[in-house]
Structure 1
Amino acid sequence: MSFDLPRNVILPVDKVDVRLDPGPHPFERDNAEAIAENWRREMGANPALFDGTVVLLSALAYRDGGLVGRCHAVKYSTFMLWRKKREASGAEHAYAHAMLVAGDNALVAIRMGAHTVNAGRVYFAAGSFEPIDFRDGLVDVDFNMIREVREETAIDLSGAERGRRYHALSTPSGTVIFRRYRVNEPADEIARRIRAFVATEAEPEIEAPVVIRDATDLPDGLMGHMKPLIEWHFTGGDEVP
């Protein structure tokens, strides 16, 4: 199976069957010394980094309207080296975005904090899949989405109206799985709540909320994968809002 899915096109996804393999990822197993050396350099540049556990894919394919794949738990230090050696690594990254849609149809994204790896970059509140996001070895994408939004913004999307399916955009730098989550409050009120939460945090992960009101309203620092998602939303996508 390896990595077999269309690139740079938004795909409708009715099922995500990505499973956690208990074995080591070959990239981590074969690059232990390089991972350790790179981590020493990363920590020297940013001592706030934490070598937690995330997952990396060893296979992902698009089959019959769904994503099928295999991933392995790895150290964050492994992920950091992989970011520099993606080509021919035998590994890829997948992550999820809850596309937060306000009652006035604006999108609410976030700008990452200065101490983070993606400092100053803008995207929807999100984080890599972690072992906690798996149920009986199968990834629970919505659990990951809701957990990450709550942790970064204190917004609880568990009761929000969800889009009827996932969508995915795969690029050489990673595959984002996303879904609309609609809430009733206008964007300015959601942004106010997020700013109030950030103000209470000693070391907030995000700097501030970012409201996006139309397809041309593109903020500075926008991550490359975000522009197609924003355009998709404001042109209606392929689902009924």
Structure 2
Amino acid sequence: MSFDLPSDTILPVSAVTVRLDAAPHPFTQAHAAAIEANWQRETEANPALFNGEVALLSSLSLTDGQLAGRCHIVRYSAFLYWRRLRPVGGAGHVYTHAMLVSADNALIAIRMGAQTVNAGLIYFAAGSFEPADFQGGQADLEFNMHREVGEETGIDLKRFPHEAQYHVLSKTTGTVLFRRYFLDRQADEIAADIRSHVRADADPEIEGPVVIRSADDLPDRLAAQMPDLIAWHFSTPRA
């Protein structure tokens, strides 16, 4: 098991292959008792938590622009315990960000709802890979992005153009693969639609949209990856 990726640096990616390994993750086997004990603490503090299934990496490397990884499906309880310990040798997290760009070049992020483990944090609508995100044993990045953005904001990404290439940023908190999607309306209009979607959702994951218009005027409670991504967007012309 290995992780061979530069940290805190945004790099272009020409190909992504993140494969699913059906074997149990060694992390869950080594920490089974601690995972259960931590889950009891987490659910006592937040009874809304659901012990579903997510993907946890056992390896990830970037070679000549090609990102390759191996992951295993674990219970959310194991993921939360990994989060408490990170960084952990032999275990990591990879996820995607669809960076929503308005017609007036603002970024449309979201603030997570109070009932979630990331309560109050701001980042682009996203979620961990789940079993449904794997096609033929390989992670489908686009499917994951479309699913998560649709669920959280009501936006159908299939309607909008995007940059062909992904970029990657690795932090202690995890590794994000991202690309920009270019929406055809002004930021305030998009934000209003997202607020309507949240109001109509019986159990919304997010508190609402956050519009970011400049790298020099950042909101509070940004997730660890966000300052780098925001700076990159406002300094990088559309491809």
TM-score range, shorter chain: over 0.9
Which secondary structure state, in structure 1, belongs to the residue aligned with residue 158 of structure 2? coil
State the 1:52 CA deviation.
0.3
Report the equivalent of 2:203. Answer: 203
| CA shift digits 1:112-137 (9 cap, x unpaired) | 00110000110000000111111101
Instruction: Find the residue that maps to 2:159 and give its secondary structure.
Output: coil
Aligned to 1:69: 69
Provide the rounded CA distance (Å) in 1 between the counterparts of 2:90 and 2:66.
21
The residue that corresponds to 2:222 in the other structure is 222
Query: Are the aligned partners of 2:99 and 2:180 in contact in 1 as well (CA < 8 Å)?
Result: yes
1:141 equivalenced with 2:145 (yes/no)? no
Q: Residue by residue, what CA displacement relative to the aligned partner does 1:137-163 show, whole Å, maximum 9, x if unpaired? A: 111111101110000011111121111
Instruction: Indicate the SS of the match to 1:162.
Output: coil
CA RMSD of aligned residues (A): 1.1
Listed one character per residue, the Cα deviations across residues 38-61 of structure 1 (whole Å, up to 9, x for unaligned) are 101100000000000000000000
Greater displacement, 195-204 / 141-150 = 195-204
Give the corresponding residue for 1:125.
Answer: 125
Q: CA deviation at 1:203?
A: 2.2
For the Cα contact (< 8 Å) 1:6–1:170, is it kept in 2?
Answer: yes
Question: 1:82, 1:89 within 8 Å by CA — same for their partners in 2?
Answer: no
Identity %: 59
Please say if residues 27 and 89 of structure 1, whose CA atoms lie closer than 8 Å, have aligned partners that are also in contact: no
Partners of 1:65 and 1:145 lie apart in 2 by: 21
Aligned amino acid, residue 234 of structure 1:
F
1:33-44 equivalences under 5 Å are 33-44=33-44
Paired with 2:68 and 2:89, the residues of 1 have a C-alpha distance of: 19
Task: Give the alignment of 1:1-241 within 5 angstroms.
Answer: 2-236=2-236, 240-241=238-239
Shift of 1:109: 0.2
What is the SS of the residue equivalent to 1:161?
coil
2:87 touches 2:173 (CA, 8 Å); kept in 1?
no
SS in 2 for 1:228: helix
Q: TM-score, normalised by structure 1?
A: 0.97
- Secondary structure of 2:115's counterpart equals coil
Distance 2:73 2:163 in 1: 29
| Structure 1 contact 120–221 (Cα < 8 Å) conserved | yes
Letter in 1 for 2:125: A
Measured in 1, the distance between the counterparts of 2:92 and 2:180 equals: 24
Aligned-partner Cα distance in 2 for 1:34–1:24:
16
Q: Cα–Cα, structure 1 residues 88 and 190, in superposed 2: closer, same or farther, change >3 Å?
A: closer
**TM-score for both structures, normalised by structure 2:** 0.97
Which AA in structure 2 matches 1:64?
Answer: D
SS of 2:27's partner is helix
Deviates more, 1:133-142 or 1:45-54: 133-142
Letter of the aligned partner of 1:14 in structure 2?
S
Which stretches in structure 2 are left out of the alignment for 5+ residues?
none
* 3-state DSSP of counterpart to 1:104: coil
